[in-house]
Chains A and B, each alone.
Chain A
Amino acid sequence: MNRETYLISIITLILIGCGLISIYSTTAIFAEQSMGDPFFFFRRQLLWVVVGSLALFAAMRIKYDLLRKINKPLLVLGVFLLVLVLFPQFGREAGGARRWLLLGGFSFQPVEIVKLFLIVYLARYLADKQKCLGKLHGFLPPVLVIMLVGGLVIFQPNLGTALLLVMVSFIMLFVGGVKISYLVGTAISFIPVLYFLVFDIAFRRRRILAFLDPWSDPSGVGYQIIQSLLALGSGGLWGVGLGRSQQKLFFLPASHTDFIFSIIGEEIGLIGTGAIMVLFILFIWIGIKIAWSAPDLFGYLLSIGITMIIGLQAAINIGVATGSLPTMGISLPFISFGGSSLVTTMAGVGLLLNVSRSSTSAQNQKLKIKTC
């Protein structure tokens, strides 16, 4: 086991541990009151950690070449699930959005698994089509795939995740070597669409307005952002003490999912939030180091994609919690409560470890090549 494998495992373990503690802290009182069991959410998340660990090991062990080969079937499966979830017969609606598929008593969000499938597809495509990326016929297919997936996700509606997917995809296209003029042109042509999507839909426009001036309507649109800021601010440098958050007591909505970072900030202060941010920065750093020593371009781009989707998702979540970005409904990887996200993120870590492991064996091959 090389150093990167070791470090990334440690970081993953610490973050998941933080997540479990925070989930227990934020949900215990609510769970006690409504289910009579303070460990209800903790236990469920623990179960997902076990499932996630299996996914991690599976992703780590899967043959690199096999992954390459099945990238298209995976993408098709992903698109199929995204279509399926839109149908009321299959998709479960919650909070005005159809994001969950029911599967044998458990519900999961297909978009989470699609994140990985799209990254694998893009990594494979970009690695294989290096020569024609400078031309339109080489550039268009992945863009169309991204638009299809993004469009389906927006349809749920889940604009935040769609934006995350598009951003990570563009980073992969950029790193993969697509002409910058193509990327800029595409980005510019997307601006009107984005404008329409944001400002023509009432609840998103409210979110933007709340983001711009939350204090104008503290009990209405600004409520969640303000409660998040109050939580973070109450924590100060050292926090009010683990378990002692008051904002989690029904003041801050989604305190165990999208806004868990704010409760961490309240309970263990800037020390805690800073530490978590440092862990994510380290994660990105090591992820890119893994890419650096990847055996081939597919592994390189795969590592970049996975690192970026986890890193950017964390950045967006923290950006929302600190009021730097409008509310988007994006969870904090490893930490927020939620099975689909955790399992997929852990599977992503597994793929990263897979690349990292392969690099060790590839180094030997490189030596061989040099001698030829």
Chain B
Amino acid sequence: MITKWHRFRTIIVLSFVVSVFTGLLYQLYQIQIIRASVLYDKAQRQHNSKVALSPGRGTISDRRGKLLALNVSVDSIYAHPWQIECVAETSAKLSPLLGIPPDEIRRMLRSNQPFVWLARGMDSGKGEKVRELNLKGVGYLKEAKRFYPHRELASHILGFVNIDEVGLEGGEFYYDRYLRGESGWHYLTVDGRGREIIPFFAENLSPSRGHHLILTIDVVVQHIVERELNATIQRYGARAGSIIVIDPFSGEILAMANYPFFDPNQFHAYQPQKRRNRAITDLFEPGSTFKVFTAAAALEEGAYNPNDKIFVEHGFYQFGSHIISDVNPRGWLTFSEVVEVSSNIGAAKIARTLGRETLYRYIRLFGFGSLTGVDFPGEIRGILRSSLKWSEICMGTISFGQGIGVTSVQLAAATSAIANGGVLIRPRLAISVVDDEGYPIKKFSSSSKRIISAGTADQLTNIMVDVVERGTARRAAVSGYQVAGKTGTAQKFIDGRFSDTHFTLLFIGYLPAERPEVAIVVVIDEPQYDRRSGVVAAELFQRVAEQTMSYLRVTGKMNAGK
């Protein structure tokens, strides 16, 4: 018999079950409505991953369109480790083809990643050979690899990129945001085993190719400069050297070379010190070349005229507590002759007349002690102490280039300022950035600032022409041109004193003097033969200047590339 007690207890059980189901429905509401978006995002994160699609890096070319950096097609071999059927067999077959030990391939194939690169940047055609092996889970992709066809040429300016074509050094680094383009993304939908599945909506973001960079460099001039720099370095057994060839009116650097060279195609094989763009990142004492800037200050201030007489003390001069000496002792010299014969005593006397504040102001005006703003990573300011901290002797030696640290590019800018009639201009390595059709995306220009009058600049040019024609730099003369220049020799400061064996040899100059087309700075570091001879740098200047001028004449001067 079914009694009311059975039915009553049934109702208790039923209400228990109904409340359980109600609780579960509430739980479902919580999960599927309240927490839905949070959980959805979490789920998406594990379902989706993305792979970068290389955009194709923009090229770098010189001012005449010669390609200095471009992309070549290479094959990159990859594997899906979970698809590999026999790891030992696969690695044994791949090893000789890829040139990787079988052990290493085995290790990579045992990875629990869904995708591994076995070898990237292999020669084009390798991929096809790998495919012919018909190995399950192994494939290849066509990738772009940076290639520098001129190898060492302009390598310090170009810099280099990593395997993913990201700029690491030099122009590649500085202009990376223009060159790299927009990475595309291939969105992968993966399953719980990390394998790619075909998604319902394939969303791919196409990469957009990078823009192309046009440099101020002229490959021919660069080549001349590098060849001559190398010859001089080898001949005199020097440690290092730099040359800058610059258009003094536009600030465009036509050539910038450093020794030692390196090949950016195999940048890994070179020590970092060989990859440094010394012309921008290294400082040295400018030596006698600095007398030009001391003279500039004196002329601009009206403290001296070029023909004013200065007594240079027959070679020995008590300056405060120190003695300043000249290599060639003389009695009376004109202001011009002080620069021509490079008299330290004369320069120190000029500085004393000017006073330290005035001298310091002009040094700063010429850009020493501050960045030139050249478009290159890693530029340094050099060393210039505040005039308040100068001792008497310090002011004296700075007037002829001791006790101050400058860079080649600072010297190039300052020399240009005299060459172009008194305007300091920012040196520059890039002309423009253009798109695939050659349409300019961005044009670069140099800021400029007048620092001395055109008259003062003319007087300085005359003095510097005399230096080459009659003074210490006769070896810099180029037939058919008037050359303005100044030599310099700086003792290197080693172990707390000025060395008698280690020198930096310098030359600054420009030509044709009446209407300069190029200004050139030459720096030779620690030659072993003819250690302190200004002739070494002057000769190098001469060879570079002569060949550059004949090349520029042939090709219609500076108008090309503009």
A297 with B39: CB separation less than 8 A: no
B24 with A291: CB separation less than 8 A: no
Once bound together, how far apart are the Cα atoms of A247 and B44, in whole Å? 10
Once bound together, how far apart are the Cα atoms of A232 and B27, in whole Å? 11
B167-186 Cβ-contact flags toward A at 8 Å (1 or 0) = 00000000000000000000
B17 with A237: CB separation less than 8 A: no
Once bound together, how far apart are the Cα atoms of A308 and B13, in whole Å? 9
- Which residues of chain A are near B322, meaning CB under 8 Å? none
- Which residues of chain B are near A130, meaning CB under 8 Å? 1
State the Cβ distance, B300 to closest chain A Cβ, in Å: 74
- Which residues of chain B are near A365, meaning CB under 8 Å? none
Q: Majority SS of interface residues in chain B?
A: helix
B13 with A246: CB separation less than 8 A: no
State the Cβ distance, A177 to closest chain B Cβ, in Å: 6
- Which residues of chain B are near A171, meaning CB under 8 Å? 13
- Which residues of chain A are near B5, meaning CB under 8 Å? 177
For chain B, give the interface size range: 35 or more
Stretch at the interface among B192-200, B323-331, B425-433: B192-200
> Does chain A have a CB within 8 A of B136?
no
- Contact flag A246-B189 (CB < 8 Å), given A233-B38, A291-B10, A300-B2: yes
> Does chain B have a CB within 8 A of A257?
no
- Which residues of chain A are near B39, meaning CB under 8 Å? 229-230, 232-234
A324 with B24: CB separation less than 8 A: yes
A246 with B47: CB separation less than 8 A: yes
B9 with A249: CB separation less than 8 A: no
B1 with A297: CB separation less than 8 A: yes
A284 with B33: CB separation less than 8 A: no
- Which residues of chain B are near A5, meaning CB under 8 Å? none
B412-444 Cβ-contact flags toward A at 8 Å (1 or 0) = 000000000000000000000000000000000
B28 with A232: CB separation less than 8 A: yes
B484-515 Cβ-contact flags toward A at 8 Å (1 or 0) = 00000000000000000000000000000000
State the Cβ distance, A297 to closest chain B Cβ, in Å: 5
8 A Cβ contacts from A219-233 to B: 229-233
A244 with B24: CB separation less than 8 A: no
- Contact flag A308-B32 (CB < 8 Å), given A244-B200, A297-B6: no
- Which residues of chain B are near A47, meaning CB under 8 Å? none
- Contact flag A308-B17 (CB < 8 Å), given A265-B28, A269-B32, A324-B23: yes
Closest to B13 in A: A171
State the Cβ distance, A279 to closest chain B Cβ, in Å: 11
- Which residues of chain A are near B29, meaning CB under 8 Å? 270
8 A Cβ contacts from B174-226 to A: 189, 191-193, 197, 200
Once bound together, how far apart are the Cα atoms of A265 and B40, in whole Å? 12
A206-244 Cβ-contact flags toward B at 8 Å (1 or 0) = 000000000000000000000001111111110000001
> Does chain B have a CB within 8 A of A281?
yes
> Does chain B have a CB within 8 A of A20?
no
B24 with A277: CB separation less than 8 A: yes
> Does chain A have a CB within 8 A of B131?
no
B200 with A273: CB separation less than 8 A: no
Once bound together, how far apart are the Cα atoms of A274 and B21, in whole Å? 10
> Does chain A have a CB within 8 A of B234?
no
State the Cβ distance, A185 to closest chain B Cβ, in Å: 18
> Does chain B have a CB within 8 A of A292?
yes
A322 with B27: CB separation less than 8 A: yes
B17 with A284: CB separation less than 8 A: yes
Closest to A232 in B: B31
A177 with B6: CB separation less than 8 A: yes
Other-chain residue from A230, A249, A322 in contact with B191 (beta carbon distance below 8 A): A249
Stretch at the interface among A107-115, A189-197, A310-318: A310-318
Other-chain residue from A251, A292, A324 in contact with B7 (beta carbon distance below 8 A): A292
A234 with B40: CB separation less than 8 A: yes
> Does chain B have a CB within 8 A of A294?
yes
- Contact flag A315-B20 (CB < 8 Å), given A175-B13, A250-B191, A292-B7: yes
- Contact flag A288-B6 (CB < 8 Å), given A265-B32, A280-B21: no
State the Cβ distance, B435 to closest chain A Cβ, in Å: 40
Closest to A265 in B: B32
A270 with B32: CB separation less than 8 A: yes
Once bound together, how far apart are the Cα atoms of A281 and B18, in whole Å? 7
> Does chain B have a CB within 8 A of A36?
no
Other-chain residue from B2, B6, B46 in contact with A251 (beta carbon distance below 8 A): B46
A233 with B47: CB separation less than 8 A: no
Once bound together, how far apart are the Cα atoms of A31 and B187, in whole Å? 26
- Which residues of chain B are near A280, meaning CB under 8 Å? 21
State the Cβ distance, B337 to closest chain A Cβ, in Å: 84
Other-chain residue from A270, A315, A323 in contact with B33 (beta carbon distance below 8 A): A270
B17 with A311: CB separation less than 8 A: yes
A236 with B200: CB separation less than 8 A: no
Once bound together, how far apart are the Cα atoms of A352 and B138, in whole Å? 59
- Which residues of chain A are near B193, meaning CB under 8 Å? 250
B33 with A236: CB separation less than 8 A: yes
> Does chain B have a CB within 8 A of A199?
no
> Does chain B have a CB within 8 A of A80?
no
> Does chain A have a CB within 8 A of B110?
no
- Contact flag A251-B192 (CB < 8 Å), given A177-B9, A315-B20: yes
A288-322 Cβ-contact flags toward B at 8 Å (1 or 0) = 10011010110010001000100110010011001
Closest to A304 in B: B10
> Does chain B have a CB within 8 A of A150?
no
Once bound together, how far apart are the Cα atoms of A274 and B24, in whole Å? 10
Other-chain residue from B9, B21, B191 in contact with A175 (beta carbon distance below 8 A): B9
A237 with B33: CB separation less than 8 A: yes
Once bound together, how far apart are the Cα atoms of A265 and B17, in whole Å? 22
B9 with A237: CB separation less than 8 A: no
Q: Which of B3, B12, B32, B35 has the most CB of A within 10 A?
A: B32
- Which residues of chain B are near A52, meaning CB under 8 Å? none
B228-253 Cβ-contact flags toward A at 8 Å (1 or 0) = 00000000000000000000000000
- Which residues of chain A are near B3, meaning CB under 8 Å? 177
Once bound together, how far apart are the Cα atoms of A170 and B33, in whole Å? 36
> Does chain A have a CB within 8 A of B36?
yes
Closest to B28 in A: A273
- Which residues of chain A are near B35, meaning CB under 8 Å? 229, 233
Listed by A's residue number, 17 A-B pairs whose Cβ atoms lie within 8 Å are: A174-B12, A175-B9, A230-B39, A230-B46, A233-B36, A233-B38, A235-B32, A251-B46, A265-B31, A270-B32, A277-B24, A292-B7, A296-B1, A297-B6, A312-B17, A319-B20, A324-B27
Known: A236-B36, A237-B36. 8 other contacts (CB 8 A): A177-B6, A233-B40, A233-B43, A237-B33, A265-B32, A291-B10, A292-B7, A315-B24
